[in-house]
Chains A and B, each alone.
Chain A
Amino acid sequence: MRKTDRFLWLIGALAVATLLTFLHAGLGAREALPRLGAGAGLVRDLGLTDLALFTEARYTRHLSQADLHTAFQDHPLAFEHFPSGSLHAPPPHLRLPHADLAATTEVPD
């Protein structure tokens, strides 16, 4: 067998493996529907708002409900001692450049 043919076989095998990942993902998504449905059903029935991924501190357990504007939540001048806090992005308004709102506010200062 020529080197080209061997190489084309290798690339062909890798391409087939790549296509198989798409097939596996498609089948996996269908298989996961009951499991995802169970989670979504519980969220609906109990009125849950957050994932139980970051359970170490009360302000990381419910990220979407947390007091993001209150610093030092555990005790005065407490530094973050949980990894989630430091790995969680600052709120979007802190990442935007400050806008001049003088002309857009409805109520004067």
Chain B
Amino acid sequence: MPTWLQRQKYLIDFTLSSLLRRRAKNAGLLLVYTLIVFVLASVMLFTHALRHEAVHVLAQAPEIVLQRMVAGRHDLVPATYLDRIGEVRGVHKKSGRLWGYFYDPAVKANYTLLVPPTDAPAGGEAVIGAGIARARGLAVGDFVTWRGSDGQPRSLRVARLLDSDSELVSSDLVLVSEDFFRGFFGIPAGQYTDLALSVRNPREVRKVAEKLALLLPDTRPILREEILRTYDAVFAWRQGIVYVLLIGAVLAFVVFAWDKASGLSAEERREIGILKAVGWETGDVIRMKFWEGAIVSLTAFLLGYVTAYAHVFFADAALFEPVLKGWAVLYPHFQLTPTIDGLQLATLFFFTVFPYTVATIVPIWRAAITDPDTVMR
């Protein structure tokens, strides 16, 4: 084995013995350090996985959704707008969407009623999301009765349940026929909730949206990239809120670790004096202290990260789920796909391991360059 490596092994041996002499104090530090890394890494992994899920699924959302605004509020869009949009070059496909909300007092939850553009259920039938089936205890063949906008009760037979694999987007959906939808909400023929457009050339989406805003000034185009950005912002904001809540704990740890790492106790000072008196060089003392910082911080980082990964992807992030996911009566059941953002992990490594290791070296360097006799006194 090369001499250099052998030398480092002896130094680590010595450092470990020194750490074990102050066993309780160092075990406490390692525990708190690991806990801080665990919490930060859990939030980071959970948010990244949720964001990844949202981006992947919503990448198929309509390229442009056109809403009509009347006095600052959404309003129904007349079908004639579809003909006027036909004049805009670049619009590839256009269709009216029919969807709305229905508050079900039985479970105190909002459903999203939607008419599928193709393969709509037959009149009097519905296809429901798994969340509604759970909340109302419904199965295929059961009937539900809701009161429409005219006060008349209308019954629907559950024809099918939506695939539970897609629950993240379909938990609260009720797919119905166009006739049922219009009758239930009292929406006359020739009116839509909004319009969905697709553009032939993806690079022209913004230009088409600008043209639409000029052609139909009472409308608001919402682009797919804005939809994706919305969810990116939602999860980034939630991650930020958890970090803000944790900032007190993190700062307390920083003060504690800084004090532990940078302030030398009388015992440590004496130890350095003795080491120098028996012939250790300043470089050796600094290397020994570097190993002390590296051992504590690297162990805490790896242990914190691995337990955070297990917490998020094997225990469904039980500790932070309510804050990061949100809650609702019709909450979807879904399994997060494990994803790791290498850059975020590297940032976490840099901000947890690096400062502590540096903080241990600086005061030691100061003590190590002074005369051993002075240090021992």
Contacts and interface: CB of A to CB of B under 8 A. Distances in A.
B173 A40 contact: no
B168 A53 contact: yes
A24 B310 CA distance: 11
A15 B233 CA distance: 33
A67 interface: yes
Contacts of B330: 52, 55
A66 to B, nearest CB: 9
A18 B305 contact: yes
A50 to B, nearest CB: 7
A83 B13 contact: no
B109 interface: yes
B80 interface: no
A36 B56 contact: yes
Interface string B43-75: 000000000011011111110010100001110
Contact of A48 (B169, B226, B326): B169
Contacts of A53: 168, 325-326, 328, 331-332
Contact of A40 (B60, B110, B326): B60
Given A3-B13, A18-B302, A89-B237, A52 B168 contact: yes
A51 B231 contact: yes
Instruction: Sort chain B's interface into a size bin.
Output: 35 or more
**Residue from A25, A41, A57 with most neighbouring chain B CB atoms (10 Å):** A25
Contact of A83 (B305, B306, B327): B327
**Residue from B162, B171, B340 with most neighbouring chain A CB atoms (10 Å):** B340
A105 interface: no
Instruction: Sort chain A's interface into a size bin.
Output: 35 or more
A22 interface: yes
Closest 8 CB pairs of A and B: A89-B237, A14-B302, A44-B60, A32-B337, A28-B338, A64-B227, A52-B171, A25-B338
13 contacts: A24-B313, A25-B339, A39-B56, A40-B57, A47-B97, A55-B131, A56-B110, A61-B112, A64-B230, A65-B67, A67-B73, A84-B326, A89-B237
Interface of B: 9-10, 12-13, 16-17, 20, 53-54, 56-62, 65, 67, 72-74, 95, 97, 101, 109-110, 112, 114, 116-118, 129, 131, 162-163, 165-173, 175, 194, 196, 222, 226-227, 230-231, 233-234, 236-238, 241, 295, 298-299, 302-303, 305-306, 309, 313, 323, 325-332, 335, 337-340
Given A11-B298, A21-B309, A41-B166, 16 more contacts: A3-B13, A4-B12, A39-B165, A40-B59, A46-B114, A46-B175, A47-B62, A47-B95, A49-B58, A50-B227, A52-B112, A52-B167, A52-B168, A53-B328, A56-B110, A89-B233
